[in-house]
Amino acid sequence: MTTRITAQSEQPDDPLSALKRVAKLRAELEREEYFEVMRARTAGVSWAGIAAALGVSKQAVHRRFKRRIVGDAKTWPAQ
C-alpha cells in the first residue's frame, strides 16, 4: 500500500517536478534522521537502540552513521 505525502491538488502535473520534490524531501529526511541519531548517541543510546528505533540491524545503522558521526563529534552540537 502506498501513502501519498501531499494532497492530490498539491501534486505537480509534471512528473519530473514531482521527482525533484521527492528528492528534496528525501534529503530533508536524511538530515533529520542524522540529527536524531547524533542526539541519541550524545544521550548515550546504543547502536542497538538506534537500530531498533529505525527498524534496521545494528550493523546497518552502525555502518551508515559511524564514520560520519566520528568526524562530526568534534563540532557537536552544531553552532
C-alpha cell, 43: 544521550
Q: How far apart are CA 71 and CA 66, in angstroms?
A: 9
**pLDDT tens track for 24-51:** 999 999 999 999 999 998 899 999 999 9
pLDDT at 7 over 70: no
Mean pLDDT of all residues in the chain?
82
- pLDDT at site 79: 43
- Alpha helices by DSSP H, listed for 43-74, are 47-54, 58-72
What is the four-CA torsion angle of 12, 17, 21, 27, rounded to 10 degrees?
170
Buried/exposed 44-76: b ≥16 CB within 10 Å, e otherwise: eeebeebbeebeeeeeebbebbeeebeeeeeee
- pLDDT at site 66: 80
